[in-house]
Every structure is written in structure tokens, then in C-alpha cells.
Amino acid sequence: MELHGQRILVTGATGFIGGAVARRLLSEGHSVRAMARTPERAADLAALGADVVMADLGDEDLLDRAVQGCSVVIHCAAQVGPADTRMAFEGPNVAGTENMLVACGKGAVKRFVFLSSVAAFGLPAAGVITDDSARGLAGEAYSDSKFGAEEAVWSFCRARGLPFTIVRPSCVYGPKSPYWSLIPFKQILKGKFLLVAGGRGSFNYVYIDNLVDAILLAAADDRALGDAFIVSDGATTWREFFSAYEKMAGKKGTRSIPLPAAKAGLAVRNLIYRFKHKSPIALRAVSFVSGSAVFSQAHIEQKLGFRTQVNLEEGMRRTEAWFRETGLVGAA
């Protein structure tokens, strides 16, 4: 499908990934409609030529208007950061995706690209994970919401004949990445960053520009229809990945806590959260930082010819340059 000449709706356009997708499309001369809950936050995209619309995943009327006239929808909007309850994830991530699908079904949408996550596989602790690996509930709110959202996409699109593709990134780092660049870097600067079990666990990563490449390929390539693709540049250890940030920050010797201590701390946290009526985190979520799972993007490489363009060394160089631009490097 040729994307030029199509009106493309990007949801979550004020977020990290959605914003990167929208800016890339605009830089390539595409017609972009950027969906945001607060249009003021999308002023930079409007200045670049985006048609900014206000919408909320819980408001079906606003979603109908946002989708109107769009042939392609790239659905990046989601609850990703910390939230107090399971519903805080399930509402936007599952019900919100269902509402988005219904709006697409009413319109003239020819392609729906859903941004999922490798979390949909349910926090595996070991082994090579491919797109054919079993998915399922993990007892952890974010992971379960991504699994539920994928199920909604598979079910709706097959029943209604809506052409779709699912993209499953691993941990997305790079300039403006909140959870895998900015926040840990600030913690390292303050000496508050902790590794688990010596940081020997497997860390799967993807640079933001590589992910955007994959998303736009999935939107344009008809061979991607009705399929799902892991996007992950590779895997290293947690210690190796975050040691790059240590070097940027001029710090050494990030502390580590034993795996039993991490599990005990999480158990105490969950007990406190239950008293506060907040959502607990499953103890096996610790496998995320201590496990040896490797997520393979062989499927997207073999089927669509996708190739990672920015390796880890270059990605970290670009991330450091952004830290310098924002004044973070040298701030300590």
C-alpha cells in the first residue's frame, strides 16, 4: 500500500513512540492527523503540518470524528507508565483499543497498525521467543492489558475484515525515551539505580528509529497484513546496557541486589499496595530483570526484509548527544 496520498491517523501522537512516528511521517511529506487528549501538547506537530484533533479512547463520538477521512490508523496510544489499578491499564489499553477498532470499522480505514509489546507474551523467563511462541496472561497489569488488546485486534479484524498488522517492540530506548533512557539515566546520576542479580539477566532493546522503520514498513507492505512482528535489535545484559549510561554520567559501580531480596521487596510493596487498594505486581515480574529470554525479530526480517539500521553503539551515541542537548550530561 502506497502511503503517500493517504490520510494517516496516529494515536498517542504526544507520546514518545506515537510522536516519533508522526514526526517521521511529516518529514517524509505524508498527510498526518495527530490524535491527542490535549491538543496543546501537540503544538509542535501542528507547527510541522499535522492536523491535530482532540480525542479520548473512552469517547466513541470523538474517535469517530478522528478516524473520519483517514485510510491508515497507527494506534500507539496506551497506558504504559505506573498506574494504581488494573483498570487504569485495561481501560485505555483493552477497552480503548476496542473503541478504536469500532471507529475504524465505521470509517474507510484500509489499514490498522497496532503497537503492542513483547509483554503480550507474558513475562517469559528463558529461551528464544518468536512470534509463534505462546502468549497469555501473566498476572501483571500492563502485560495482561497488552495481551487483551492483541486478542481484541485479532478477533475484531478477522470478524470484520479490517486489514491489520501488530507490531511488538522490546524495550524502546533513545532520545526522549522516558523509561529506558531518561528515567534510568537520571537515577544513575543520583546514584539511585539498582540492578538485580548482578545485572546478568537478558535485556532486549530496540532503538526508536528502528522501531519507527518497522512500523511504517508494516503499514505499507501488504505482506504484513494479518500478521504480528516482534521488533528487537538484540539482547545484552542489564549491566552491559546500563553501563553505557554510567559512562555518559561519569559514574561507576552501579549497585546490585540479590534476586531473593528483590522478590522480598516486591512482596512487601504488594502488601502495602493492597492496603491502599492499588494494583500489585506479580512476583514473577522479577523474571523480566533476571530471566534469559531473547526476543527474536527473525520473522519480520524473513517475511518483510526488515533490517536494523542503527546498532547499539550508534544508538547510544545518539542518545548521549540528546542528553547533552538537554543539559543532562555534566549536570551532576
| pLDDT by residue, tens only, the chain of 332 residues | 999 999 999 999 999 999 999 999 999 999 999 999 988 999 999 999 999 999 999 999 999 999 999 999 999 999 887 666 778 889 999 999 999 999 999 988 999 999 999 999 988 778 999 999 999 888 888 899 999 999 999 999 999 999 999 999 999 999 999 999 999 999 999 999 999 999 999 999 999 999 999 999 999 999 999 999 999 999 999 999 999 999 999 998 889 999 899 888 888 877 887 776 666 666 667 878 888 999 999 999 999 999 999 999 999 999 999 999 999 986 54
Rg of the Cα atoms in the chain? 20
73 forms beta bridges with 9, 112
CA–CA dist 233, 237 (Å, integer): 13
Angular region, 256: left φ>0, alpha ψ -120 to 50, beta rest: beta
Locate cell 507508565: which residue?
81
List domains and CATH numbers for the chain. 7-238+289-325 (3.40.50.720)
| Predicted pLDDT of residue 332 | 45
User: What is the four-CA torsion angle of 132, 280, 197, 190, rounded to 10 degrees?
Assistant: 120
Q: Who contacts 255 (Cβ-Cβ below 8 Å, separation ≥6)? A: 193, 194, 195
Q: Who contacts 179 (Cβ-Cβ below 8 Å, separation ≥6)? A: 80, 81, 171
Could you tell me the strand order of the sheet in which 171-173 lies? 171-173, 202-207, 234-237
| Predicted pLDDT of residue 184 | 95
Phi and psi angles of residue 213, each rounded to the nearest 5 degrees, phi first: -55, -45
Alpha-carbon separation of residue 191 from 181, 184, 188, 194, 327 (angstroms): 15, 10, 5, 9, 18
Given the DSSP bridges, would you call strands 294-295 and 202-207 parallel, antiparallel or unpaired? unpaired
| Predicted pLDDT of residue 267 | 83
Angular region, 57: left φ>0, alpha ψ -120 to 50, beta rest: alpha
